[in-house]
Amino acid sequence: MSIEHKADMKTVDGPAEYFTGKATITGQFQREEPSRVSGAIVHFEPGARTAWHTHPAGQTLIVTEGLGWTQIAGGPKLEFHAGDILWCPANHKHWHGATQHEAMTHVAIQESVNGTPVTWMEKVTDEEYLAPLGTE
């Protein structure tokens, strides 16, 4: 058993090629084989979001604070809240982030397949990000 204490965790800025706006990543981890699990705590300032991306084994997001938006390509833009748990199935192109006026923090958990947990794609445009909300 090991414990990584909050005071010892590093926080880094989300890379500009994968995020729009201010996002920070804390406690990023990758477990050793035979585990395939990786994750991090990601904080998005208002207006910040990921680029489009996929995960080969899907992704779970546990929302700890704030209000956010997400979308799977071709689907409606959806809103989620602190306390919600999101599941994005394997290989579904998607994005997620804070709303335009409220910050959001989530714990992201995904598994690697052939050593890769994520495939990054193009950035979400302002038109996509600001599109009206849809329904599930």
pLDDT 10s digit of each residue in the chain, 136 long? 989 999 999 999 999 999 999 999 999 898 988 999 999 999 999 999 999 999 999 999 999 999 999 999 999 999 999 999 999 999 999 999 999 999 999 999 999 999 999 999 999 999 999 999 998 7
What pLDDT does 23 receive? 98
Domain presence at residue 124: no
Amino acid at 90: A
Q: Does 126 map to a domain?
A: no
Report the distance separating Cα 118 and Cα 30, nearest Å: 13
pLDDT score, position 135 = 84
> What pLDDT score was predicted for residue 136?
77
CA distances from 60 to 106, 109, 118 (A): 10, 5, 13
- Write down the pLDDT at residue 81: 98
Cβ count near 130 (within 10 Å) = 12
Residue 81 lies in a domain: yes
Angstrom distance (rounded) from CA 60 to CA 108:
6
Residue 2 included in any domain: no
In a domain, 135, yes or no: no
Cα gap 77→101, rounded to integer Å: 16
**Is 127 inside a domain boundary?**
no
Q: What per-residue confidence (pLDDT) applies to 8?
A: 93
In the chain, the number of structural domains is 1
The tokens for 50 are 């990921």
Measure CA of the first residue to CA of the last residue in the chain; give whole Å: 40
Residue 132 falls inside a structural domain: no
Q: What does the pLDDT read at residue 96?
A: 98
Q: How many CB atoms lie within 10 A of CB 5?
A: 7
Cβ neighbour number for residue 104 with a 10 Å cutoff: 27
Q: Tell me, what CATH number does 36's domain have?
A: 2.60.120.10
Residue 106 belongs to domain spanning = 10-116
CA distance 134 to 19: 23
